[in-house]
């Protein structure tokens, strides 16, 4: 089993103490997002590897030497300001944390996500070209793989349309991003790719790859895994993972986020977090049905 920590919430940024408590105790409980009474219990002895996804790696850096499982680390580093990402820390601090991660997990196990890309009067193509070039310059020698994605039509995106002020991509927009990002990345010894996008930009030099490929998982664990069930309803080539996060629990409150769609629920859930609970939010109740998950 491979854990995703997490696509539903930035556990590393806000709940690292809880995660390490669960790791040391040996198990974690996860509510089914579609049936709150169903709880999966995952024992870390059944975990083969962990993929951490975060906008702020700093809280977990000191704990990484304690984790004996193979680790793949994804750090999202985007060029947006507080109007779009109100609670994301200073990007310079994230850059420094990424440099430390290179030594902790290895450059082959460290990906940076420039994700998502959207275009607006403020964040136009020229803005993205300059921001991407600056990011690659600062991370030269520390990162080899960059993953980008494009803004999707999520509930939260529609709700924040006036704040995001985004427009649809044109064929020329994709071309500008494809050619420029490929050239910039290559000049810094990096590859750039999309994952599970309608436009993979391979015609402009993007490589074909996944966020966490089955080949990568096999190299890390010596085991073979199924494909992940993709959220868009079609097949994704990433390896199958188990997400231990919960929706509406991330305090970054990014305006484009698919996992947060009700900020009042986010604030309510944060208050119900207990670092000593087996669940990310709340506690196990008498009516819960707990089943041990092996895969």
Does residue 232 have a pLDDT over 80? no
- Please choose, from the candidates 110, 164, 118, the residue with its C-alpha nearest in 3D space to the C-alpha of residue 139: 110
Quick check: 158 and 210 in contact, CB under 8 A?
no
Provide DSSP, 97-155: HHHHHHHHH-GGGEEEEEEEE-B-SSS-HHHHHHHHHHHHHHTTTT--EEEEEE----H
154-179 average pLDDT score: 96
- In whole angstroms, what is the distance from residue 46 CA to residue 91 CA? 35
Q: pTM score, two decimals?
A: 0.95
Encoded tokens for 83: 């109007």
- In whole angstroms, what is the distance from residue 153 CA to residue 180 CA? 25
Percentage of the chain with pLDDT > 70?
Answer: 97
How would you classify the pairing of strands 35-43 and 27-32?
antiparallel
Per-residue pLDDT, 286:
94
What is the residue whose two structure tokens read 């009474």?
37
| Size of the chain, expressed as the number of residues it contains | 295
Residue 197 pLDDT level (bands cut at 50, 70, 90): confident
- CA distances 157 to 117, 154, 245, 246, 268, Å, are 13, 5, 21, 19, 21
CA atoms within 13 A on the CB side of 2: 27
**For 94-147, how does the pLDDT look when each residue is reduced to its tens digit (9 = 90+)?**
999 999 999 999 999 999 999 999 999 999 999 999 999 999 999 999 999 999
**For 74-107, how does the pLDDT look when each residue is reduced to its tens digit (9 = 90+)?**
999 999 999 999 999 999 999 999 999 999 999 9
**For 7-65, how does the pLDDT look when each residue is reduced to its tens digit (9 = 90+)?**
999 999 999 999 999 999 999 999 999 999 999 999 999 999 999 999 999 999 999 99
User: What total of structural domains would you count in the chain?
Assistant: 1
Percentage of the chain with pLDDT > 90?
Answer: 88
Print the domain residue range for 230: 2-292
**139, 140, 141, 145 alpha-carbon torsion, rounded to 10°:** 70
Per-residue pLDDT, 222:
95
- In whole angstroms, what is the distance from residue 92 CA to residue 97 CA? 9
């Amino acid at each position: 089993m491979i854990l995703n920590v997490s696509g539903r919430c930035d556990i590393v940024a806000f709940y690292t103490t809880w995660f390490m408590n669960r790791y040391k105790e040996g198990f974690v409980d996860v509510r089914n997002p579609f049936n709150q009474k169903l709880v999966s219990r995952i024992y870390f002895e059944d975990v083969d590897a962990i993929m951490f996804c975060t906008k702020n790696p700093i809280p977990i850096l000191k704990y990484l030497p304690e984790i004996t499982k193979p680790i793949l680390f994804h750090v999202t580093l985007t060029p947006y300001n507080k109007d779009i990402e109100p609670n994301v820390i200073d990007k310079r601090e994230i850059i420094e944390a990424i440099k430390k991660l290179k030594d902790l997990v290895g450059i082959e196990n460290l990906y940076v996500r420039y994700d998502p890309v959207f275009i607006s009067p403020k964040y136009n193509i020229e803005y993205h070209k300059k921001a991407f070039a600056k990011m690659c310059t600062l991370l030269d020698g520390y990162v080899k793989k960059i993953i980008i994605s494009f803004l999707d039509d999520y509930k939260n995106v529609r709700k924040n349309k006036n704040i995001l002020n985004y427009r649809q991509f044109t064929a020329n927009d994709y071309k500008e991003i494809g050619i420029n990002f490929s050239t910039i990345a290559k000049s810094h010894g990096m590859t750039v790719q999309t994952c599970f996008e309608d436009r993979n930009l391979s015609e402009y030099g993007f490589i074909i790859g996944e966020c966490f490929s089955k080949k990568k998982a096999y190299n890390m664990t010596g085991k073979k895994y199924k494909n992940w069930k993709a959220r868009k309803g079609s097949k994704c080539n990433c390896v199958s993972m188990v997400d231990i996060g919960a929706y509406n629990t991330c305090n970054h409150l990014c305006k484009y986020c698919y996992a947060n769609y009700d900020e009042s629920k986010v604030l309510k859930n944060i208050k119900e977090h207990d670092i000593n609970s087996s669940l990310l939010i709340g506690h196990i109740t008498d009516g819960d049905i707990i089943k041990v998950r092996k895969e």
